[in-house]
């Protein structure tokens, strides 16, 4: 966050979304433990933002989240 000027409406929106996702991630980790909490967070992220990215045609985001999900699943699932 810049101290030189106030955030624009779009910057504030992105900041609030990031803070909300950080809070949800911390709650899931507290509830389920580190690995499973991260897995649930990435599933949630893929469900919500993956749909938005798919509609916008952003396949790179979907690929990145799918790889993160696979990594967490492999570590947790053995």
Residue 76: enclosing H or E segment and its boundaries? Answer: helix 59-77
* pLDDT for res 27: 95
d(CA 63, CA 50): 9
Give the closest residue to 69 by CA, choosing from 61, 14, 26: 61
Give the closest residue to 42 by CA, choosing from 56, 63, 13, 60: 63
* pLDDT for res 13: 94
pLDDT, tens only, 2-37: 568 898 999 999 999 999 999 999 999 999 998 888
pLDDT, tens only, 50-73: 888 888 988 898 888 888 878 877
Q: DSSP H helical segments within 5-58, as ranges?
A: 9-32, 34-56
Taking residue 75's Cβ as centre, other Cβ atoms within 10 Å add up to 12
């Amino acid at each position: 966050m810049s101290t030189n000027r106030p955030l624009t409406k779009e910057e504030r929106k992105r900041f609030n979304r990031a803070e909300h996702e950080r809070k949800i991630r911390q709650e899931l980790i507290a509830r389920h433990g580190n690995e499973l909490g991260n897995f649930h967070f990435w599933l949630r992220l893929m469900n919500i933002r993956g749909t938005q990215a798919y509609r916008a045609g952003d396949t790179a985001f979907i690929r990145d989240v799918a790889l993160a999900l696979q990594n967490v699943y492999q570590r947790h699932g053995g």
